[in-house]
Amino acid sequence: MSHASAARSRPGAITRLMLWSVRARWGLATVVIAAHLSGLAVIVTELLLIGFPGRLDADQLRGLLTVAIYPAIAFLIGIGLAIRDRDGYFAWLDRAGKPTPEEARRILHLPIAVTFRSLAMWAPGVLLSAILLARLTTEDDFTVLLVMFTIGGLESAGLTYLIVDRLIRPVVPIVAGVLGATMHWSSSVSIRVALAWAVSGAMPLSALIVVLADPATSYEHRIRTGIYLAAISLAVGVLATWALSRAVAAPLRTLRIAVDRITQGDLDVRVSVRSASEIGRLEHSVNEMSANLRERLRMRDVFGRHVGEEVAERALAGGIDLTGDVREVTALFVDVTGSVAISTGLPPQEFVAKLNRLMATVVAATEDNDGLVNKFEGDAALCIFGAPIALADNATPALRAARRIRDEIAAAGEFDIGIGVARGRVFAGDIGTDTRREYTVIGDAVNAAARLTTRAKEVPRRILVSQSIVEAAEADERANWVKYGTVALRGISEPATSWTDREPETTP
């Protein structure tokens, strides 16, 4: 089965790192703790840049150890919870199997669950740190410290979400294979865009506003801190935009290629579902569309083999109403002579194989002359010229098909046949009910063709056609036919004038 090009590419370094993070016992813990430490590092760097250590007395520096107690405890708790998350969310990887539906649904909740837990762990630390540090300074720094720590915590939580959401991307195809078309609100494109903006722009700029508004921070410290926060915003903005563009643009490019290939007739396209967002739903929808089109094409092919391509097109394009009309057509009937005697003593499979070879000749000659093999009736076949596709001249192609069928079957030497051809106005359309119907033609021309076939079995050339067909045919084709005579047809009151084709001239 074909896949879109991006779906076929080998895993890159980032993908391998993500796979390691969910497979290794310490992988998830390492990534989550790194995100928290990055937020803590930003806060500590800001304190240094605004000159906060200079606001402390020498003997008050020991008080900083008290502030470090909660982060140390939270660090250890975070490691334990992250290891538990790995075992709880990805234990099915250790079984080398697929997750259960419940496990698959839990994986989709992982990014938002870890993010909310990060906020819950940061909240007490932010408040305690702001209170303790404010008590160590002579300035009224509580508000500044509280806002600064809050922004740092939010930055860390947002970064944690973006990283974990990216981290589970390699297992999303497996989850989609279990749950089908699914998505989680927290993984939507709008949430990702909002968080990317908050992490790269809103929070660093908010921290800058706090520093600029702090009367205790000197001019030089404000300049240094502003440059630092601007650099952080630029760096994080580049990374967030790059990650977001890859998360959106790369799958959209894959989808565009897949849709282009589908429109060109390649229905074996399949893309990997790599996201739990709207894009993942779109990826799943493209796969469903491809599968449905393949099934429709298969049904159309099977349907066309049973009723003919033209009838299949007409039925698939129309509604459920039974339709039809009266039109002038030429009916060609082919019937095998002595089929019962031929089948006697032959294995059924062998007889059917011989009969299929005969019918293949009938189908090829009919379709090559723009006709429709309307139905097979045991060892007989009814062919129609002029319905459902109207022909400006339906007599000439019918006569050509009759001669070709007779010649090719006679050359094969497996059957003796009779061919009858008649022309007239018939009903051509659907008969049946809304749940089961069949395209057919009903009228005197069909009956006359069947009766002429019976008489044609006694004619040397094995073909009898009605006079109206010869009169309607082109001059070149009409020259191939001679009047045979008047024949009585069973069920028809008046004798019919019939024609047969000329004997080929022999070279002396």
Q: How many CA atoms lie within 13 A of 445 on its CB side?
A: 27
Backbone phi and psi for residue 441, each to the nearest 5 degrees, phi listed first = -125, 140
**Is residue 455 in a domain?**
yes
DSSP state of 460: T
- Structural domain boundaries, residue 477: 321-501
Same domain, 395 and 255: no
- Three state DSSP letters for 77-88: HHHHHHHHHHHH
pLDDT at 395: 96
Residue 398 lies in a domain: yes
Same domain for 33 and 150?
yes
Is 315 inside a domain boundary?
no
185 neighbors 191 (Cβ within 8 angstroms): yes
367 and 242 in a single domain? The answer is no
Q: Where are the alpha helices (DSSP H) in 96-202?
A: 101-136, 142-167, 172-179, 189-197
Contact 35, 156 (CB under 8 A): yes
Of 278, 313, 341, which marks where a domain is finished?
A: 278
Specify the pLDDT at position 310.
57
Q: Which of 278, 294, 329 is the last residue of a domain?
A: 278
Q: How many domains does the chain have?
A: 2
On whether residue 478 sits in a domain, the answer given is yes
> Does any domain span residue 392?
yes
The number of beta carbons lying within 10 Å of the beta carbon of residue 359 is: 16
| Residue 352 and residue 426 in one domain | yes
For residue 398, which phi and psi values (nearest 5 degrees)?
A: -65, -40
Please tell me whether residues 182 and 326 are part of one structural domain. no
Write the DSSP string, 325-356.
EEEEEEEEEEEETTHHHHHTTS-HHHHHHHHH
Please tell me whether residues 267 and 367 are part of one structural domain: no
In total, the chain counts a number of residues equal to 508
Q: Give CA–CA dist 205/202, Å, rounded.
A: 5
Assess whether 232 and 363 both reside in one domain: no
Domain boundary residue, one of 249, 278, 307? 278
Query: Does residue 346 lie within any of the structural domains?
Result: yes
Q: Both 479 and 413 in a single domain?
A: yes
116 in any annotated domain: yes
DSSP string, 9-42: SPP-HHHHHHHHHHHSTTHHHHHHHHHHHHHHHH
Same-domain pairing of 267 and 157: yes
Alpha-carbon dihedral angle through residues 280, 283, 288, 290, given to the nearest 10 degrees? 180
* Per-position pLDDT tens, the chain of length 508: 444 443 344 455 556 666 666 666 677 778 788 888 888 888 888 888 888 777 766 566 666 677 778 888 888 888 888 888 877 888 787 777 788 888 888 888 888 888 888 888 888 888 888 888 877 776 667 888 888 888 888 888 888 888 888 777 777 778 877 887 666 666 777 887 888 888 888 888 888 888 888 887 788 888 888 888 888 888 888 887 887 777 788 888 888 898 899 888 888 888 877 777 778 888 888 888 888 888 777 766 655 555 556 555 655 565 444 467 899 999 999 999 988 788 887 888 999 999 999 999 999 999 999 898 888 888 899 999 998 888 899 999 999 999 999 999 999 999 999 999 999 999 988 887 777 777 888 999 999 999 999 999 999 999 999 999 999 999 999 999 999 998 888 877 778 899 999 987 655 5
- Are 207 and 345 found together in one domain? no
In a domain, 383, yes or no: yes
Are residues 333 and 248 part of one domain?
A: no
CATH, residue 367: 3.30.70.1230
**Together in a domain, 480 and 423:** yes
* 3-state class (DSSP) for residue 317: helix
